[in-house]
A = this chain, B = another copy of it.
Amino acid sequence: MELSYVEETYLKGLHHLSTQTNKQVTTNDLAATLSNSAASVTDMLKKLSRKSLINYEPYQGARLTEQGNKLATRLLRKNRLWKVFLYQSLNIRWEDVQEIAEELEHIKSDLLIDHLDAFLGYPKFDPFGEPIPNAQGKYTLRVQSPLSDLLPGKQGLIIGVKDQHVSFLKYLDEKGIGIGKIVTSIKHDAYDQSMIITLGQKEINLSGKAASLIFIKPL
């Protein structure tokens, strides 16, 4: 099925919200996510429902159908493969990757995406640690724990970040924290949950919140 740019955006928003909460997606939540008015969202929900991409009952919110989910997953595949390309091949900084990938994910060609996948060596995760669905839509979640759980003295490999806001990514970039870096936990502060880690020679102080948004593989 051929979808418009906007329809795809809504589908992705629906997928995002429904995997987060596993409940019906409400009109207002979707409106907030997409920065649109609730009225616009209602219109689009009716349209997507007519196309059988969502189940929608007035006043009851919406949920992706199997077909809608399949299309949303395809968008995630495209988005994340492009992110790998931008980050790894083009050396574009973390905080700039998201915005560009959001445009690239709407490029239609399946041929393109499969060739891109091959070019990148069939990566399983994007630069933020999110799993990349394969051509059949299958993907595996990774065992990952927040940096905040790393016990003092232990080492971890950074494999992802939860928050993808530009300001947070810049904050990490400035501290030298990125995918593939190895860090050692030095000390937790019992009072404010902040922690001290080392990255190479450098000692870094992280807020408890920041540490909980960074994912590692314990070494």
Contacts from A to B (Cβ < 8 Å): 86, 89-92, 96, 99-100, 103-104, 107-109, 111-112, 115-116, 118-119
Contact = CB atoms under 8 A, between A and B. Distances in A.
B100 A86 contact: no
Contact of A111 (B96, B108, B119): B96
B112 A86 contact: yes
A108 B116 contact: no
Task: Please give the count of copies of this chain that the complex contains.
Answer: 2
A86 B112 CA distance: 8
B115 A91 contact: yes
A96 B111 CA distance: 9
A172 to B, nearest CB: 19
A100 to B, nearest CB: 5
A123 to B, nearest CB: 15
13 contacts: A86-B112, A90-B115, A90-B119, A92-B115, A96-B111, A100-B107, A100-B109, A100-B112, A103-B107, A103-B108, A104-B104, A104-B107, A107-B107
